[in-house]
Chain A
Amino acid sequence: MLAGMDSFQATIEADGRIEPRDAMPEGYRKTLIRQIAQHAHSEIIGMQPEGNWISRAPSLRRKAILMAKVQDEAGHGLYLYAAAETLGVDRADLLDLLHSGKQKYSSIFNYPTLTWADIGAIGWLVDGAAIVNQVPLCRCSYGPYARAMVRVCKEESFHQRQGFEILHTLCNGTEAQKAMAQDALNRWWWPSLMMFGPPDASSTHSEQSMAWGIKRHSNDELRQRFVDMTVPQADVLGIRVPDEGLTCDEETGHYSFTEPDFTELYEVVKGNGPCNQQRLAHRVKAHEDGAWVREAAAAYAEKQAAKAQGSAA
Chain B
Amino acid sequence: MNDLFVYTLRLGDDALIAAQRTAEWIAAAPQLEEDVALGNIGLDQLGQARTLLQYAGQVEGAGRSEDDLAYFRDERDFLNVQLCELPNGDFAQSIARLLYFATYQHLLYEELRGCADETLAGVAGKAVKEVAYHVDHATQWVLRLGDGTEESHRRMQAGLDTMWPYTAELFTSDALVERLEVAVDPSTLHDEWERRVTQVIDESTCARPTSSYQHSGGREGRHTEHFGFLLAELQHVARSHPGASW
Contacts and interface: CB of A to CB of B under 8 A. Distances in A.
Interface of A: 44, 47-48, 51, 54-64, 67-68, 70-71, 74-75, 77-78, 81, 116, 166, 169-170, 173-174, 176-177, 282, 285-286, 289-297, 299-301, 303
Given A74-B32, A169-B245, A293-B152, A61 B27 contact: no
B62 interface: no
A296 B46 contact: no
List the 4 shortest-distance A-B pairs measured between CB atoms, nearest first: A290-B30, A296-B148, A296-B152, A71-B39
A64 B29 CA distance: 19
Interface in B203-246: 233-234, 236-238, 241, 243-246
Given A47-B26, A51-B26, A70-B39, A293 B241 contact: no
B49 A177 contact: no
B128 interface: no
A60 B39 CA distance: 15
A49 B67 CA distance: 24
A58 B91 contact: no
Contact of A71 (B36, B66, B241): B36
Contacts of B26: 47, 51, 54, 67, 70-71, 74
B155 interface: yes
A67 B43 contact: yes
A56 B147 CA distance: 37
Contacts of B46: 60, 63-64, 67
A58 B238 contact: yes
Interface centre among A58, A64, A286 (most CB of B within 10 A): A58
5 contacts: A44-B27, A63-B23, A67-B26, A295-B148, A299-B152
A169 B243 CA distance: 13
Interface of B: 16, 20, 23-24, 26-36, 39-40, 42-43, 46-47, 49-50, 53, 66-67, 70-71, 90-91, 143-145, 147-149, 151-152, 155, 233-234, 236-238, 241, 243-246
A116 B145 contact: no
Contact of B244 (A55, A75, A174): A174
Contacts of B90: 289
Interface centre among A57, A60, A285 (most CB of B within 10 A): A60
Contacts of B245: 169, 173
Contacts of B234: 55-56
A60 B69 CA distance: 10
A176 B36 contact: no
Binding site secondary structure of chain B = helix
B143 A290 contact: no
Contacts of A291: 30
Nearest to B243: A174
B27 A286 contact: yes
A68 B34 CA distance: 14
A64 B50 contact: yes
A71 B238 contact: no
B42 A67 contact: yes
B39 A58 contact: no
A301 B147 CA distance: 10
A76 to B, nearest CB: 10
A203 to B, nearest CB: 31
B31 A56 contact: no
B40 A71 contact: yes
B33 A78 contact: yes
Contacts of B148: 295-297, 299-300
B36 A286 contact: no
Nearest to B67: A59
Contact of A56 (B35, B39, B66, B237): B237
Contact of B147 (A54, A285, A286, A300): A300
A74 B218 CA distance: 34
B241 A176 contact: yes
B192 to A, nearest CB: 27
Contacts of A60: 16, 46, 49-50, 53, 66-67, 70
Given A51-B27, A78-B32, 11 more contacts: A59-B67, A60-B49, A71-B35, A71-B40, A286-B27, A290-B30, A294-B30, A294-B31, A296-B148, A299-B148, A300-B144
Given A59-B246, A60-B50, A300-B143, A75 B36 contact: yes
Contacts of B66: 60
A58 B31 contact: no
B31 A59 contact: no
Contacts of A62: 246
